[in-house]
């Protein structure tokens, strides 16, 4: 909901009749509202990883609701721009804690057969939040929208109190009996639980020494892979497009109302996330990424063609009226079904237990930085390069990103963490039975 909040709210705050502030916001202020959560998360990622590693995955998820609820309350009472900016900062803290912790938690509670499907749940509920915000936002007042946001956040908080903690975290803290009970519950078998604990002992039972890690070629290779994946995740322009979705649709002057089109996009994203959950463990991660990147590239090319025709002064009629909507649907569906879901699955899979918090933090930090750059300067790219060129640049990045995945990213489907490390070139010492 935090991601989609800016789309309907930007329209309200820019309108003198709808804004709750003393004056309408400027485009520059709007860009800071869109990017404030992102740059804030850039500084919080390391703290979120520290809390996940020392306090536990579950406690970190529970704690993330404190800044989230604070943000919602500030949204409601805001009367000045700085109050909204502060609200976005708190929202950014909460989002950072969730994005660091939830992929780790999902990877550690799932077995290898269902790890992809469980990891995709993050994208499903993220998409569900987008749908809620886009369905509610354009049709209610600013105050009622944020009251609804607060109520939903509180409702989402309650079940997290009853989550089991990550079995790997319990093991790493020496709570072996509790780890075995949790794994027996999750796997449905004591023998499977004991087998997994033996794997923890074989591959993961050591402390992190940063000096040694920085000399570990496999770790550095993995960090390089996830860094490029993290940069590419946002350099293809997804957040830049979705943050300004309603604005883009209004600019295109299509015959479809921007509010209706935004809701359609939200449902497309949600349906794509469900598709991702169904296919992630049936097909390889790489083939899903490659296929969906190709679809995103086509969608971006279509957007570029539409704006090129429009900027050249040619009439927009017939099929051209629907080209931006079709292109956006293709782009958003492929992102949510592919990269948007699979990234959060594959990053913790590529990392072994003791390095998972460090690696996920690096991935999220690089993602956050590239998100900030593309979101903050998307408007300037549109103004100076024109929309068509901007979208074609993003399409070119999709092609480069696809080639990197083909050459450098190993397949992780239904492999144990030890098998994935072997695929990366690590030498794993088998435990004695």
Of 250, 228, 256, 176, nearest in space to 362 by CA? 228
**Tokens encoding 248:** 């883009």
- Phi, psi of 283, deg, nearest 5: -115, 160
Residue partners of 353: CB distance under 8 A and separation at least 6: 168, 172, 200, 203, 204, 417
User: Structure pTM?
Assistant: 0.71
What was the pLDDT predicted at 432?
43
- Phi, psi of 282, deg, nearest 5: -100, -35
What was the pLDDT predicted at 249?
66
**CATH number, domain 2-163+206-423:** 1.20.1250.20
Through-space distance between the first and last CA atoms of the chain, rounded to whole angstroms: 48
Q: In sequence order, what E strands does 10-67 have?
A: none
Does residue 36 contact residue 88 with C-beta atoms inside 8 Å?
A: yes
Residue partners of 13: CB distance under 8 A and separation at least 6: 19, 20, 21, 24, 25, 30, 33, 84, 142
What was the pLDDT predicted at 433?
40
With both helix axes pointing from N to C terminus, report the angle between 285-311 and 245-252 in degrees, rounded to the nearest 10.
Answer: 40
What was the pLDDT predicted at 131?
85
3-state secondary structure of 257: coil
d(Cα 332, Cα 335) in Å, to the nearest integer? 5
Domain boundaries, the chain: 2-163+206-423
Identify the DSSP state of 409. P
196-207: b (≥16 Cβ within 10 Å) or e: bbeebeebbeee
d(Cα 239, Cα 227) in Å, to the nearest integer? 18
d(Cα 220, Cα 359) in Å, to the nearest integer? 10
What was the pLDDT predicted at 431?
44
Does residue 304 contact residue 367 with C-beta atoms inside 8 Å?
A: no
pLDDT tens series, the chain, 433 aa: 888 888 888 888 888 887 888 888 887 888 788 778 877 777 787 888 888 888 888 999 999 999 999 999 999 999 899 999 999 999 989 988 888 888 888 888 888 777 777 777 777 888 888 888 888 888 889 999 999 999 999 999 999 999 888 898 898 888 889 999 999 998 888 888 888 888 777 655 455 566 676 777 888 888 888 888 888 887 887 766 765 566 666 665 555 676 676 677 778 878 888 887 777 777 878 888 999 999 999 999 998 888 888 877 777 777 777 788 788 889 988 988 888 888 877 888 887 766 777 777 787 778 777 777 776 677 677 778 887 888 899 999 999 999 999 988 888 877 777 787 788 876 654 544 4
What was the pLDDT predicted at 109?
87
What was the pLDDT predicted at 259?
67
d(Cα 128, Cα 408) in Å, to the nearest integer? 32
CB atoms within 10 A of CB 375: 26
């Amino acid at each position: 909901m935090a991601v989609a909040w800016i789309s309907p709210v930007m329209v309200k705050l820019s309108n003198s009749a709808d804004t709750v502030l003393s004056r309408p916001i400027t485009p520059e202020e709007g860009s800071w509202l869109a990017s404030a959560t992102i740059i804030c998360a850039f500084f919080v990622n390391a703290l979120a990883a520290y809390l996940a590693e020392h306090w536990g995955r579950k406690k970190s998820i529970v704690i993330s609701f404190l800044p989230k609820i604070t943000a919602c309350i500030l949204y409601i009472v805001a009367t000045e721009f700085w109050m909204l900016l502060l609200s976005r900062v708190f929202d950014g803290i909460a989002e950072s804690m969730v994005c660091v912790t939830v992929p780790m938690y999902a990877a550690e509670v799932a077995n290898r057969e269902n790890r992809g499907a469980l990891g995709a749940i993050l994208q499903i509920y993220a998409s569900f939040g987008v749908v809620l915000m886009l369905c509610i936002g354009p049709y209610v007042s600013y105050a009622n929208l944020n009251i609804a946001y607060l109520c939903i956040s509180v409702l989402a908080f309650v079940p997290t109190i009853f989550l089991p903690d990550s079995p790997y975290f319990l093991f790493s803290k020496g709570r072996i009996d509790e780890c075995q009970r949790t794994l027996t519950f999750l796997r449905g078998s004591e023998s499977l639980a004991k087998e997994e604990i033996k794997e923890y002992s074989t591959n993961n039972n050591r402390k992190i020494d940063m000096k040694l890690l920085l000399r570990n070629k496999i770790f550095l290779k993995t960090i390089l892979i996830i860094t490029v994946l993290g940069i590419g995740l946002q350099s293809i322009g997804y957040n830049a497009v979705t943050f300004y979705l309603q604005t883009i649709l209004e600019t295109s002057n299509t015959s479809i109302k921007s509010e209706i089109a935004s809701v359609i996009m939200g449902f497309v994203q949600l349906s794509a996330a469900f598709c991702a959950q169904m296919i992630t463990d049936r097909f390889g991660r790489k083939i899903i990424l490659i296929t969906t990147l190709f679809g995103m590239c086509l969608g971006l090319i279509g957007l570029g063609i539409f704006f090129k025709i429009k900027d050249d002064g040619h009439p927009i009629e017939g099929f051209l009226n629907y080209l931006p909507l079709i292109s956006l649907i293709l782009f958003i569906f492929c992102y949510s079904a592919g990269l948007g879901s699979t990234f959060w699955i594959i990053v913790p899979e590529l990392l072994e237990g003791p390095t998972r918090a460090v690696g996920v933090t690096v991935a999220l930090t690089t993602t956050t930085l590239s998100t900030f750059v593309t979101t903050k300067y998307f408007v300037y790219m549109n103004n100076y390069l024109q929309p068509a060129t901007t979208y074609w640049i993003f399409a070119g990045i999709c092609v480069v990103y696809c080639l990197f995945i083909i050459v450098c990213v190993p397949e992780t489907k239904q492999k144990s963490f030890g098998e994935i490390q072997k695929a990366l070139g690590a030498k794993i010492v088998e435990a004695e039975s």
